[in-house]
Structure 1
């Protein structure tokens, strides 16, 4: 950490210590973490074919169930997602906070299974999914919930005679991501979406035939202060923290996620899901 970053974070921590008291502290712990922003974005591309015009994709990420995020909250989230009537649902990692100590049960499977999308449900590993010896447990739960894992793999989403590519890499921190393998034999003329838990991986993605990368992991910083912004983000979410970024031909979207981790606070950083609508831009 350089001196400027150290001063920024130290000053920010001091303000947080002084400011997050009383009503503000209560809001950051009890109110904002339970809110949910439905963030709508339109993705326009001349690679999007007419069959996929107005095709709706919902992304949710970083639920961290078990750490101040309950199954009843997950059930409400699922109902909200289903109300969007998505054509495709993608989950970009970190299902539970601590897989090795979580009380796994069939209720979680039932809730996730109730998510409905006409063209399927896909997911990728996050670092918490691999952590705590959770890899096989989480995969088993997601399998039973009707989600298809993309672990250094790509698939084709078809509608009529047309299609686009959906790819996903293994987690950067605790997995073995291999973008070369993931996009082997990729058709550069196909509209391609990559799921990558850590957003800073986009600096590698930009060199490949990918149009959009969807990421999470950062939580948007969880606590953001006026002028200063976020106080802290995890490794591989230090450059791209939240929102939309244009990197050459690649568009990166970083969701602030749903749950919390490490500290049970959110301040000026509401939980969110993304609702993407594809738009064909053929002349």
Structure 2
């Protein structure tokens, strides 16, 4: 049977060949393996909503994601990341999954909690499962590490973050889409339409489902921004459920639900990043009038 090629697949193959040429040069290889993966971009975003309570105006929420400890990211780098996050003094810290690249092969899980425990945020620390956290028989191991790190692990669960004034916002976390058991209706229907809400969902492309519920902001990771990009073309390869929304800010559905896709910290499959700089995201909540 004769195989046909689309124009896009032809261009992608051609560009992949060009990128391969770049990466085989000494500078390209050195940059993609040793320089860009060790850079860190702090992305700052304002989130506007009239659902934000007055007491939460100018409060900050920090998202980090996809550390993938073990492949090319190590504990010393994690300690540096913790120091950087603490220097930003966020009110809330959210981790959107994929802590270890291969949990059953990682030799130092017991050394992770003392590092993550040092993260400081007065209104709490929350985490969800990513596909790598369930993979490699890592489900229980990840749960233990996250809870020992003083994070609340949200698995199809909804919590409130409440101020002394009694004002609150809602935060929920779905189980991983690929290897877990996400309960969309059961979880997201518990969100209050008049209350500002954040949904932590590892894979971004299910935003079309989340947008059918009263979600103000979905935070995801998973895609790594493609991990390798080309100018004017974007990511060469994106993972399942990370193709439609590979990185950055979007508005989804008729409700214009806000979605932010974080490029993550570490790498997976191959220890390279090219034009997909690791990032942490600092969101500042801004109350607007109706």
TM over 0.5: yes
- In the alignment, is residue 69 of structure 1 matched against residue 73 of structure 2? yes
Alpha-carbon separation, structure 1, partners of 2:137 and 2:172: 25
Hey, what's the Cα distance between the residues in 1 that align with 2:86 and 2:7? 44
Contact 2:189–2:213 (Cα < 8 Å) also in 1: no
Aligned residue among 179, 184, 208 for 1:179: 184
Distance, in Å, in 2 between the alignment partners of 1:110 and 1:126 is 21
> 2: distance between equivalents of 1:141 and 1:205?
28
Q: Which runs of 4+ in 1 moved over 6 A?
A: none
- Mapped to 2, the partners of 1:175 and 1:281 lie a distance apart of 36
CA distance in structure 2 between the aligned counterparts of 1:4 and 1:87, rounded to whole angstroms: 47
Candidates 44, 48, 61, aligned match of 2:52 = 48
| 1:7 partnered with 2:2 | no
Once structures 1 and 2 are overlaid, which stretch shifts more, 195-204 or 178-187? 178-187
Normalised by the size of structure 2, how large is the TM-score?
0.95
Per-residue Cα deviation, 1:229-248 (whole angstroms, up to 9, x for no partner): 11101000010000000113
Partner of 2:214: 209
| Residue in 2 that maps onto 1:250 | 257
Aligned-CA RMSD value:
1.3
Shift of the 29–163 alpha-carbon distance from structure 1 to 2, 3 Å rule, reads same
**Which runs of no fewer than 5 residues in structure 1 stay unpaired?**
none
**Residue 102 of structure 1 aligns to a residue in which SS?**
coil
State the TM-score, normalized to the length of structure 1: 0.97
Aligned to 2:140: 136
Assess if the C-alpha contact under 8 Å between 2:57 and 2:285 holds in 1. yes
Q: Distance in 1 between matches of 2:190 and 2:259?
A: 23
Question: Aligned in 2, Cα 1:149/1:10: closer, same or farther, shift over 3 Å?
Answer: same
Q: How many residues align?
A: 283
Contact 1:9 1:232 in 2 (8 A): no
Tell me the CA shift for residue 80 of structure 1.
0.4
Query: What does residue 150 of structure 1 align with?
Result: 154
5+ long unaligned stretches in structure 2: none
